Structures are given as structure tokens and as C-alpha cells.
Structure 1
Amino acid sequence: MKVDGILFDKDGTLFDFAATWNTWAADVIRHFADGQSDIMARLAQAMDFDLGAGRFNPTSIVIAGTNREAAECVAQALPELAIEQIEHVLMIRASDAPLAPAVPLVPFLDGLMAHGLKLGVMTNDSEFGARSHLQSAGIEARFDFIAGFDSGHGAKPAPAPLLAFARATGLAADRVVMVGDSAHDLIAGRAAGMQTVGVLTGMAGHDELADLADIVLPDIGHLPGWIME
């Protein structure tokens, strides 16, 4: 096999980004605006969210950013609220976001584990949000390592949280593959000396990922074929 361990991004990788996070963003905007159309418009602009289409613009920093960075976007439209207050609301609402798995995750992960692979998740979401989502999907126990931007290892695109997975599992970095849907994921993987795989279940297209990835796949369901070839 090409690798001994796989580190997954969460949103846009394990779970389809648009189906999960467009709904969350629309809900957050309605919550903070409390029905006021002018505030909704300000929030949408700050979050780079298309209200009419009900989806993030590909340029939104919320897509690959941390919960804190998302809170800073919201704060541009709601300067009267403390960043910490906004961040808490986003974290709680993110934990309840509707999940749309990219593939049936239980058999997919069980298949990888059957080959002795170590598995981890590193997301720029909070660790609370990550564990809530993984638990809701019934897959939390299948991971040897789960980290968010607030777990003490830093956030992507820095390589430190990826190297924390390698240390935690006792694997050489070059025997780990970072799998993600954004440039942040793949830049972090390259900087950590890992192999990198891009998937197209996020907001980035093939051309945005190709130069940073060893291969770009339609979704994680194609990963075993690449690992075993």
C-alpha cells in the first residue's frame, strides 16, 4: 500500500460541503438577523454568501477558515456583538448542521481499518463541532486522532496539526496521506511532507487542487483504489 495512515479533512471531504454548510450559513444569517432584511444582506456580504442562490461564493473565507475566522466575518456585520459570543453561537449551530456524508461512511472506514490503516480527522472547525458530527454519523470511534483548530496544534494550512497526527500514531509523515477538498488541506499536507489527495465534494474545482495533489478524486470512495494500486 502507498500509506500507513490517512488524515481526513471533515467538511467537503467526509461530508459534502454544499449540502451541509450552505444550509448552516442560511440558518446562521436568519438567526443573527432576526428577520431584518437589511441585517441579512449585511451578514451575507460579510460571509460572502449568495442569499438568492442559498450558497457560499467560492471566494468565501468561511469555506476553509476556522470557526474564529467565520466569527470575525459575522462581526463585520454585527460590530455590537463580541467575537467570543458570535464564535460560541457558530460553534453550537455548527454542531447541529445537517450532515450529508460524501459516501456511506461506516463501511468505507471499516474497509480502511481492515487493512490496518490508522485514521484521523483534522478540521478547521472546532474540536467540539468535529466530535459532534462524527458522533452523529456513528463514526467517531473509528478515528485514532481527532483535532480542530482549537485543539492546541494550530490550523491548516500550517503543517503542525498534521504532524501531530503522525506523532500520535507513530507514523512517518511520508507514509501518511492528507485528504481534503481545499487548497488549505493540500498546502498543509505538502508542508508536512505527506502525500496529498484532493476530492471534489467541496467548493474547489479540479484545477484549483491539481497542482497541490498527487491525485484528485471525485470523492473519498475512490481512495481505496488509489491506495491499493
Structure 2
Amino acid sequence: MIKGILFDKDGTLVEFNTLWINSTYSVIYELVKQYALGDYVGKTNKIAHFIGLKGNEVDENSLLAGKTSKDISKVIADSLHADQEKIHKEMNGLYYRYVQEHSEDIKAIGNLAALFKQLKKNQLKIGIVTADNFDVTMLTITELGIRKYIDFIGTADLYEKKPSREAMEVFCYAHSLKPDEVIHVGDTPVDMEFSKHGRFGVGVLSGVGSEETLRKYTPHIVESVQDLIDNKGNFIYSDSLLELQAY
């Protein structure tokens, strides 16, 4: 029986492109201006390409799609011949300020409050496991009005980054769940690797991962998280509905 759901954040609960593409270009540009000598736009675009940005598209297997700010800061620091720890700290601050100042760009994928309320009616524990940091994650879920529904927040500055099993283990321990009672919902290969620590993964097509790629990991593919509840208000992976799907 599925008793818990761990959600990825960006591309799964929140539209990826509306916030993270512009914010990433902005953050890189500010760092380039501080550490480089001239050709700021050219160097910004070069670093953006290194981490997976191709214009306004994101490579589904890139650092930006599935890695942490620490991973990204190493690429930026190496490119600018700067200290990674300093770049990482400055980068996190720049991202946080950008999200604060552009909170209107935090776009939920559907009505998340209604979705989470219905999942709670189906007796499910809800968690978020993201490559993002805690401060930006809290800012995001507060802006979306879903904080009260969330039982666990696992961010890359608190736990080992996905696909490590640590966040899954802590979530299960905190809520007396077994791993095979938990599913993970996400949009990238890293999410699907992480889902192997639970019952199974559910791939969503609302983010950067293609259906072809996600199907290499799981047969459970939906257009978005909104499809987790059927038109009768039932969780589609309840035991009774899973049995029907098997026939």
C-alpha cells in the first residue's frame, strides 16, 4: 500500500523554465561581471552552455536539470578561476534574491493546494526532495500556499543529494513508513534513479525529461502531478486502482 509520496520540486511542482532559466542567466552574469575581465555576455553564455542551458532550453541530463548548486558552482568557479566555496556562497545568495524579487515567476503546475488537499484525504504523507537549497524551497512553497500540506522537506544543503537514499530513509523513519510504501514523482533521470529506493518512480512530462528517457526507468508516466488524482478524487496508485491497472 502506498502511504507516502516524495515530490521533486522544479519541473514537477513548479514550472522550470519560467523561473530557473532567467534566474540562472542572471546569476551567472553577476558572477562573471565580478570575476571576469570583459566579454561578460559571451562568458555568461559559455558557462550557461557548460551547465546545460542551450538558449531557452535545458538539457535533460545536464547539471542544471538534476544537480545541486554546489555542483554548478564548481563549473562556474573553474571557468572564472575563482574559489569554489566563495562562488557557491555568492551564487546561493544571488539565486535567493532573484526568487524573492521575481516571485511572480514561481508558476505552479496546476492547482497544487487542491491536489495536496486531495492527497491528504487519501491518507498520504507528502514530502519534497529537491536539488535546491532549503531557503529557496521554503520561499517557493510559501509563495504557492502549500506549506501546511508538506510533512517533509529534503534539500541538497540538508541531506545527501539525489540519487542518494538518505532523504528517503529520513522521510520513512520520521513517518514510520517502509520504503516500499513510498513513491517518488519527478521529471529527470536523477529523480528516477532516486525512486529506486522506494516502491517505484512516477515520471512527469511537465519538466525537462522526455517521455522516451523517463520510460527507460519506469512504466508510470503522467502528463503532470495533477493526474495523480482521478476524476472521482481517488489516488491513482491506491491498491485497488493498481490492481485494476494490472488487468
Q: Which TM-score applies when normalising by structure 1?
A: 0.89
1:12-34 Cα shifts (integer Å, max 9, x gaps): 11112222211211211332233
Matched, 1:32 2:31: yes
- Tell whether the 8 Å contact from 2:211 to 2:221 is kept in structure 1 after alignment: yes
Task: Give, in whole Å, the separation in 2 of the partners of 1:194 and 1:93.
Answer: 37
Q: 2:163 aligns with which of 148, 153, 157?
A: 157
Report SS of the residue matched to 1:211: coil
Report SS of the residue matched to 1:136: helix
- Tell whether the 8 Å contact from 1:62 to 1:69 is kept in structure 2 after alignment: no
Where does the alignment leave 5 or more consecutive residues of structure 1 unmatched?
none
Letter of the structure 2 residue corresponding to residue 56 of structure 1 = V
Q: How does 1:1-229 map to 2 (within 5 A)?
A: 2-34=1-33, 36-50=40-54, 53-80=55-82, 82-95=83-96, 96-97=98-99, 98-151=105-158, 153-190=159-196, 192-225=197-230, 226-228=236-238, 229=241
Task: Give, in whole Å, the separation in 2 of the partners of 1:158 and 1:135.
Answer: 26
Task: Give, in whole Å, the separation in 1 of the partners of 2:170 and 2:118.
Answer: 24
- Tell whether the 8 Å contact from 1:195 to 1:214 is kept in structure 2 after alignment: no
Letter of the structure 2 residue corresponding to residue 217 of structure 1 = V
- Tell whether the 8 Å contact from 2:27 to 2:95 is kept in structure 1 after alignment: no
1:188-221 Cα shifts (integer Å, max 9, x gaps): 111x132210101111101111131240111000
Give the CA deviation at 1:76: 2.5
The equivalent residue for 2:233 is none
1:10-60 Cα shifts (integer Å, max 9, x gaps): 11111122222112112113322337233223322332322xx33333342
1:98-122 Cα shifts (integer Å, max 9, x gaps): 3121111111111111222110001
Task: Give, in whole Å, the separation in 1 of the partners of 2:61 and 2:178.
Answer: 34
Letter of the structure 2 residue corresponding to residue 215 of structure 1 = H
Q: Larger Cα Rg: Structure 1 or Structure 2?
A: 2
- Cα 1:65–1:173 change in 2 (3 A) is same
1:108-157 Cα shifts (integer Å, max 9, x gaps): 11111122211000111112221121122121221110011121x31111
- Tell whether the 8 Å contact from 2:60 to 2:210 is kept in structure 1 after alignment: no
Task: Give, in whole Å, the separation in 2 of the partners of 1:112 and 1:58.
Answer: 28
- Tell whether the 8 Å contact from 1:42 to 1:77 is kept in structure 2 after alignment: no
More deviation, 24-33/194-203: 24-33
Where does the alignment leave 5 or more consecutive residues of structure 2 unmatched?
34-38, 100-104, 231-235, 242-247
- Cα 1:73–1:158 change in 2 (3 A) is same
In angstroms, what is the RMSD of aligned CA positions?
1.8
Where has structure 1 moved over 6 Å in runs of 4 or more?
A: none
- Tell whether the 8 Å contact from 1:181 to 1:198 is kept in structure 2 after alignment: yes
Report SS of the residue matched to 2:24: helix
Task: Give, in whole Å, the separation in 2 of the partners of 1:213 and 1:46.
Answer: 28
- Tell whether the 8 Å contact from 1:156 to 1:188 is kept in structure 2 after alignment: yes
